[in-house]
Amino acid sequence: MSKKLYLPFVLLLAFSMLFSACGPQTPATQEPVVAAPTDAPAVPTDEPAASAPDLDGAFGAMLAGMSGYNTVKADALLVEMAEDNPPFLLDVRTAEEVQESGHIEGAVHIPLNELAQHLDLLPALDVPIVAYCGSGWRATIAMTALHGMGWQNVRALKAAFTDWVAAGNPVVPGLPEAVALNAANPDPALVAAADAYLVGIKDHGSKFGMISPEELNTALAENPALVVLDVRTQKEVEENGYVASPNYLNIPLEEFVTRKAEWPAADNAIAVYCGSGHRSTMAMTMLFANGYADVTSLTGGFAAWKDAGLATVGGQPTLKDTFSAMLASMTGYNAVKADDLMVELAEDNPPFLLDVRSVEEVTEQGHIEGAAHIPLNELAQHLDLLPAFDTPIVTYCGTGWRATIAMTALHGLGWQNVRALKTPFADWAAAGNPVVAGLPEPMSLGAAQPSAGIVSAVDPALVAIKDKGWGVKKAEDLSVALLENPGFILIDVRTVDEAKEKGVIAVEGQELLSIPLEEFIANAAMWPADKNAEIVLYCGSGHRSTMAMTILLANGYTNVSSLKDGFGGWVTAGLPVAEYAAP
């Protein structure tokens, strides 16, 4: 056989073996088929026999060696690009996209669907490579495919190209010049397997294998046989639940190759998902490489599925769930006055009282008779002292401010009926209401088991807020800050009717958002993108804005405060007010 015909022969044989491997297998009990004897002499050949591509070895090595699921963020990539040995950059967008918006300086361009046809443009198999595209989706496919062809250190940039450009990072106009390196010799069988699916992936599903939550929901209704493959860890599944589907299967990405025997049959329609869409796209690519044809990956992952309000099974509640429940069920913004509390305390089933002042305050001033004591900044660390989730609880402190934070935090942690006493402790005592000297004796109840994930989010927020003056922002301080900080963000959590009737805080050059507390979770997309941005919230008196502040702190925001005495205090201080302008 001539050398010119050898490579096509190997590729053809590799394809044949790949596709036959995905077809029906001969049962172990079936008699082997014996070929009829022939007198024809064997034809000698000097060519080596082609072998099936070792996809399991290639993908297994990727999964065993990956860090951060082989992703890199823009800031980290910029640092690496400035080093002596920067990674090789690979742009897998279309030629039209690159011509229109340029490319990252120093990058090589190969469209995703042509990737396996231009491997001569790539470096050696052990050279670090970072693939990127418009959003990160195609970069993930390219990263996985390159590992499947034998490259050993490939990552995907998890940043949209438009964001890279907007940040002022290095970009060069037009298409880069193609330069053949001929530095790698991947296994032709692996290359053939990759090229077979990369050529057609552009038109697969809606685009590059993407399926939206709404599209998947429709597909499940139309095709009961659709297999929904979850590649998250078992812990994620237990904590967060999973997509409701009659054909649900969980194989964590880390175990995807070692548990290959559990994969669905190759002729199944399969929708893969993970937490955000990255891991599922890796798994989708591996399935394509193994001859699967009808596979999609859920854009936005399980988080997007839940955000769309689609059916789930199991899992523990999220902060969104618990805070949404609070906002939907609250009466009087979960506040109670001293006279009303006194009536309740005289009833057969009085509420559980929780004092969240400091040890020093309680030691000096005493506590309401029958109350338990946990300092606010330690609240999430002593939840064993609290009653069951459905037990009515009233929190109190020195003024009502910390009580509001505690009430909101407890709702976030899963308690369902918590209110804040809006009476200063000094006024309670002065009115002759029942007070006991000193600290109450702690009593462990162990009556509730909040989600560990939620506790881990709420606890650092409560610990940190103590050193920030409990998030109190005085009107005079806010007035100065509005003048000095052009990046300031002000959020009005009153109703639109209140804002129209009374006006809003006058802001010049700063961002002003209107997100009524009742809609605060439903409109979470309006929250500032930068969780370290300086944010001040206000309402009519300071209670609702402190609830909203606590919600943001529990969700990872670090520089949030609430206007003391609210819009009323701002007006009383004679500070500027403007008319409400509809967004």
Q: Judge if pTM exceeds 0.75.
A: no
Mean pLDDT over residues 416-425, rounded? 97
Nearest to 455 by CA among 424, 426, 412, 510: 412
The CATH number for 210-313, chosen from 3.40.50.1100, 3.40.250.10, 3.30.360.10, 3.30.1180.20, is 3.40.250.10
- In DSSP terms, 171 is beta-bridged to 104
Note the pLDDT of residue 421: 98
Only one residue has tokens 């405060």, namely 561
Q: Is the pLDDT of residue 58 over 60?
A: yes
Residue with tokens 């077809």: 23
Q: Which two tokens stand for residue 414?
A: 């899963």
**Unique residue bearing structure tokens 């290639």:** 58
pLDDT band at 204 (very low <50, low <70, confident <90, very high): low
Going by pLDDT thresholds of 50, 70 and 90, the confidence category of residue 4 is very low
Going from the C-alpha of 415 to that of each of 106, 233, 319, 371, the distances in angstroms are 54, 28, 12, 17
Q: What angle do CA 107, 111, 114 make, to 5 degrees?
A: 125
Confirm if 422 and 399 have CB atoms less than 8 A apart.
no
Comparing C-alpha atoms, which of 86, 197, 58 is closest to residue 141? 197
pLDDT for res 512? 84
Q: Answer for the pair 303, 232: CB distance below 8 angstroms, yes or no.
A: no
Average pLDDT for 195-221? 88
Between CA 291 and CA 288 the distance in angstroms is: 5
Q: Phi then psi for 468, rounded to 5 degrees?
A: -110, 30
Closest CA to 245 of 264, 219, 268: 219
Q: Answer whether residue 36 shows pLDDT above 50.
A: no
Residue extent(s) of CATH 3.40.250.10 domains in the chain? 55-199, 210-313, 319-466, 469-578
pLDDT of residue 51: 55
Q: Is 45 exposed, middle or buried (0-12, 13-18, 19+ CB in 10 A)?
A: exposed
The fold of 319-466 is Oxidized Rhodanese; domain 1 (3.40.250)
Residue 384 has phi, psi (to 5 degrees) of -70, -15
At 104, the pLDDT band (50, 70, 90 cuts) reads: very high
Query: Is the model more confident about 28 or about 147?
Result: 147
Q: How would you label 153-180 residue by residue, b for 16+ Cβ within 10 Å and e otherwise? A: bbbbbbbebeebeeeebeeeeeebeeee
Instruction: Give the pLDDT confidence score for residue 206 in this predicted structure.
Output: 52
Q: Strand 108-109 to strand 227-230: parallel, antiparallel, or no bridges (unpaired)?
A: unpaired
Q: Each residue of 472-496: pLDDT tens digit? A: 999 999 999 988 887 889 999 999 9
Residue 485: the pLDDT is 83
Hey, which CATH number is domain 469-578, 3.90.600.10, 3.90.420.10, 3.40.50.300, 3.40.250.10?
Answer: 3.40.250.10
pLDDT band at 16 (very low <50, low <70, confident <90, very high): very low
Task: Count Cβ atoms within 10 A of the Cβ of residue 477 and give its class: 0-12 exposed, 13-18 middle, 19 or more buried.
Answer: middle
421 contacts 341 by C-beta, under 8 angstroms: yes
| Reported confidence tier of residue 50, pLDDT bands at 50, 70, 90 | very low
Q: Which of 100-104, 215-219, 238-242, 574-578 has the lowest mean pLDDT?
A: 238-242
3 state DSSP class of 278: helix
* pLDDT above 80 (res 184): yes
Label residue 19 by pLDDT band (50, 70, 90): very low
Q: What Å distances lie between residue 106 and 89, 120, 169, 472, CA to CA?
A: 7, 17, 12, 49
Instruction: Using alpha carbons only, give the angle 288, 48, 291 rounded to the nearest 5 degrees.
Output: 10
Q: Judge whether 110 and 98 are in contact, CB under 8 Å.
A: no
- CATH 3.40.250.10 is right for the domain spanning 55-199: yes
Average pLDDT estimate for 396-407 = 98
pLDDT (average), residues 449-467: 94
Buried b / exposed e along 480-501 (16+ C-beta atoms within 10 A): ebbeeeeebbbbbbbbeebbee
- Percent of the chain at pLDDT > 90 equals 83
* DSSP category for residue 317: P
